[in-house]
Structure 1
């Protein structure tokens, strides 16, 4: 774990808030799906959230507060009583606040320590131990940090290493474990709404875990996520959308975009009655070539993707 710091936690929190945009309670309710009455109850009755106040007394929430709301919801969905969530957050919150502002080398050292524990369990093909470490990481960090900064970098590292005997088997073991756990979480947080968002790999080069995690990052949006299988023909996406009638089609890729990607996407969007969005590393790499088109780019970072999708669906963000 990161070493202690001489900066007081309240000061750390204040400095963190200065760097973040603040949201009114109605916007937090839209972003999280938790109504304002519940948000106020979590604050007054349990002290779970402490938003800042304007001079007139209106509540303002930072992105850190929003992530905490989602964390609270996650614990409740896992069967933890709301009255007990505060004790869990009290153990994990200082680490999450510190991770945003303490020196990067200390944060990275903590990530590496967790990765080493995951690697040890994977090398032993010990699913019980891996499940234990996986749970401990989730009790210490929010979802986006767990995957973006700890698990996926190790997953990619193992994927690139094929020289030594057994390394392919280790990657397959970790990949299978993560895919099953992400699917479990998707089922847990699935929002059964009439509106649907289709999430699909851009091409067959995309790994299934990339698509699953993208869907997980976006799953807090007030629409049901529907995943299409790897190998879905690009030319038949129009057919699928005609029958499903989604609000948006999201194509996922972490590979460098092909030279003709912008042309293919611009042609596809003309045949759709829904928004076409690109997510993953390819989104950032193709953003310039898609400027001025009807294709939206969500980026490759969990919280940013979720916020942009919400804005796209509400019609508040230009492509």
Structure 2
């Protein structure tokens, strides 16, 4: 029996996989919104499979509007009952608990609390779209940590523990996503002065959620071997990231030369684009910016997909 209703006399109903495809919200999150917060109430088949009406899909889209503006999922139900968010309206004051979640995450890193890290990662990824998790929680926390780590005793231990944690969790997500995603393939590489993988890992997670298939290199690779890597991995773009200024010779000579050698676009993402972007104008290197959603949107446009 098909899970999509076929009775022409009734409104169409959609299975959860189709709702996930239409809205971009994964099935785990849709079930969590239903079970934990009662945000949506799908119908059920006799076998218990969820069926969603068009009104449910519209409600999911309204939920996303609120979440994308920083409203925590625990507050969305009341807002849905009150009104829909207007495009130019500011979020209602004093309802966001993102700062509280950031403080919890900072505490978990400070105390090397792996169990709390696991809880916060799983909870955030289950309840929010990946882009919202990164923009509201993980990227702000990594930015704060990098400021602290410049002169804090024990910083290297905290850095490596968080990197190890995220490498495992995000690596698993990429492995499974790459098997079901048909998007363009990216190779992500950090530039030489980037000390850890944190920025690369968040970029990989965001790119995967945006529909790309992602390969990434854990260790540095000589610049003169990157063209070979792009060819062997059969990628559609080579994306490099860094939070540092990087060496002038790398920016002014080596990257433009690499861009000319590649048969696919060479792109930069991260603070390095703000610092050095002007020096890369009129070269084959595309500076996509520091904001991950905007950078990935530009990359989709660059690849014509």
TM-score bracket relative to the smaller structure: 0.5 to 0.7
Match of 2:90 among 65, 87, 102: 102
Counterpart-to-counterpart distance in 1, 2:183 and 2:65 = 39
Q: Which runs of 5+ in 2 are unaligned?
A: 5-10, 35-48, 72-88
Match of 1:129 among 88, 101, 116: 116
Counterpart-to-counterpart distance in 1, 2:25 and 2:231 = 36
The structure-2 alpha-carbon separation of the partners of 1:102 and 1:193, relative to structure 1 and needing over 3 Å to count, comes to closer
User: Which one scores higher on RCO, CA 8 angstroms, separation ≥ 6?
Assistant: 1
Match of 1:259 among 248, 255, 273: 248
Counterpart-to-counterpart distance in 2, 1:211 and 1:180 = 13
Counterpart-to-counterpart distance in 2, 1:224 and 1:282 = 24
Return the offset for 1:309: 1.4
What's the counterpart of residue 158 of structure 1?
145
Q: Show the 5 A alignment for 1:151-300.
A: 151-161=138-148, 166-190=154-178, 191=180, 193=182, 196-220=185-209, 223-260=212-249, 261-300=251-290
Find the residue that maps to 1:99 and give its secondary structure: coil
User: Which shifted more, 66-75 or 209-218?
Assistant: 66-75
The structure-2 alpha-carbon separation of the partners of 1:74 and 1:289, relative to structure 1 and needing over 3 Å to count, comes to farther
1:304 maps to 2:294: yes
Counterpart-to-counterpart distance in 2, 1:176 and 1:136 = 19
Q: Show the 5 A alignment for 1:69-80.
A: 69-72=23-26, 75=29
Counterpart-to-counterpart distance in 2, 1:194 and 1:90 = 23
Match of 2:103 among 102, 107, 116: 116
Match of 1:146 among 128, 133, 142: 133
- Give the number of equivalent residue pairs: 256
Return the offset for 1:95: 4.7
The structure-2 alpha-carbon separation of the partners of 1:192 and 1:154, relative to structure 1 and needing over 3 Å to count, comes to closer
TM-score by length of 1: 0.64
What's the counterpart of residue 4 of structure 1?
none
The structure-2 alpha-carbon separation of the partners of 1:82 and 1:237, relative to structure 1 and needing over 3 Å to count, comes to farther
8 A Cα contact 2:23 2:61, kept in partner: no
Counterpart-to-counterpart distance in 1, 2:183 and 2:124 = 34
Find the residue that maps to 2:288 and give its secondary structure: strand
8 A Cα contact 1:200 1:251, kept in partner: yes
8 A Cα contact 2:188 2:215, kept in partner: yes
Structure 1, residues 119-139: CA drift from partner, whole Å, max 9, x if none? 333444332232222233234
Counterpart-to-counterpart distance in 2, 1:70 and 1:277 = 25
Q: Name the Cα RMSD after superposition.
A: 4.1
Counterpart-to-counterpart distance in 2, 1:149 and 1:194 = 25
The structure-2 alpha-carbon separation of the partners of 1:170 and 1:221, relative to structure 1 and needing over 3 Å to count, comes to closer
Return the offset for 1:223: 4.8
TM-score by length of 2: 0.67
